């Protein structure tokens, strides 16, 4: 009896994680080439086997993203969902209770679809006053504590404080800031990757 063993000359490549980014202009490469934005840099860092979908839209709110989320989850089947929203909620005067509930609903929907979640805090302009800004950022901490999701307290940590890393409007980061934003996100994302890759 003759047995034939077929051996592939190249090992099978493990499928990388599927990442869905929900965000606003801070994640949508505002006023720069898409390839220079932190989401594109994330895709580069994860490598060719990963899939990164940038569903960030300039001016987006948590309510807008929540409405689109079911279709995005069904279409892309992400392993990880990054939620970096809220700045426009604050600018439009959305009640903090509504803002909080929208985040909770997005997290619940993402988890129901089988995805891990990273929540990233988004800044408000300083003219909103430190008291309100603290309450606003406190919503992210509260939601993360309630749900146990990974938290990036401030997506622009180390960026917003440096005028050389901001565009002329003082609100949006420039190209030089994008690797720093990625590093902020990466600190929360990297611990989720081994389980995704080994599964």
Q: Is 76 a catalytic residue?
A: no
Q: 46 lies in a domain?
A: yes
Q: CA nearest 104: which of 153, 142, 61, 74?
A: 142
Q: 26 lies in a domain?
A: yes
Question: Count of domains in the chain?
Answer: 1
**In this structure, what DSSP letter does residue 32 have?**
S
Distance, CA of 185 to chain centre? 7
* Helix pair 130-147, 96-112: axis angle to 10 deg: 30
Q: What is the pLDDT of residues 1-17, one digit of tens each?
A: 443 443 333 333 347 89
Q: 1 lies in a domain?
A: no
Q: Is 25 a catalytic residue?
A: yes
Q: What is the predicted pLDDT for the residue at 124? A: 86
Say which of 24, 25, 79, 89 is annotated catalytic.
Answer: 25
Confidence (pTM): 0.90
Q: 75 lies in a domain?
A: yes
Say which of 76, 89, 110, 172 is annotated catalytic.
Answer: 172
Say which of 97, 130, 134, 169 is annotated catalytic.
Answer: 169
Q: What is the mean pLDDT of the chain?
A: 90
Q: 145 lies in a domain?
A: yes
Give the integer Cα–Cα distance in Å for 11 and 128. 55
Please report, for the domain that includes residue 186, its CATH number: 3.40.50.1110
Q: 157 lies in a domain?
A: yes
Give the integer Cα–Cα distance in Å for 105 and 83. 12
Q: 12 lies in a domain?
A: no
Q: 57 lies in a domain?
A: yes
Q: What is the pLDDT of residues 94-112, one digit of tens each?
A: 999 999 999 999 999 999 9
Q: What is the predicted pLDDT for the residue at 159? A: 96
Q: What is the predicted pLDDT for the residue at 15? A: 75
Q: What is the predicted pLDDT for the residue at 194? A: 62
Q: What is the pLDDT of residues 178-191, one digit of tens each?
A: 999 999 999 999 99
What residues make up the domain containing 74? 18-198
Q: What is the pLDDT of residues 137-174, one digit of tens each?
A: 999 999 999 999 999 999 999 999 999 999 999 999 99
pLDDT at position 199 over 70: no
């Amino acid at each position: 009896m003759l047995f034939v063993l077929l051996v592939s000359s190249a090992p099978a490549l493990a499928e990388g994680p599927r990442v869905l980014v929900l965000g606003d202009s801070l994640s949508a490469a505002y006023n720069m080439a898409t390839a220079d934005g932190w989401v594109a840099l994330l895709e580069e860092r994860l490598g060719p086997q990963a899939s990164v979908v940038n569903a960030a839209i300039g001016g987006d709110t948590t309510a807008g993203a929540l409405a689109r989320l079911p279709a995005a989850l069904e279409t892309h089947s992400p392993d990880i969902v990054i939620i970096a929203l809220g700045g426009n909620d604050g600018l439009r005067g959305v009640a903090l209770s509504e803002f909080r509930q929208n985040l909770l609903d997005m997290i619940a929907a993402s988890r129901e679809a089988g995805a891990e979640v990273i929540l990233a805090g988004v800044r408000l302009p300083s003219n909103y006053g430190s008291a309100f800004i603290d309450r606003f950022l406190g919503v992210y901490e509260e939601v993360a504590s309630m749900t146990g999701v990974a938290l990036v307290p401030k997506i622009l940590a180390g960026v917003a404080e440096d005028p050389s890393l901001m565009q002329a409007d003082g609100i949006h980061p420039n190209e030089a800031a994008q690797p720093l934003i990625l590093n902020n996100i990466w600190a929360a994302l990297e611990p989720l990757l081994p389980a995704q890759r080994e599964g």
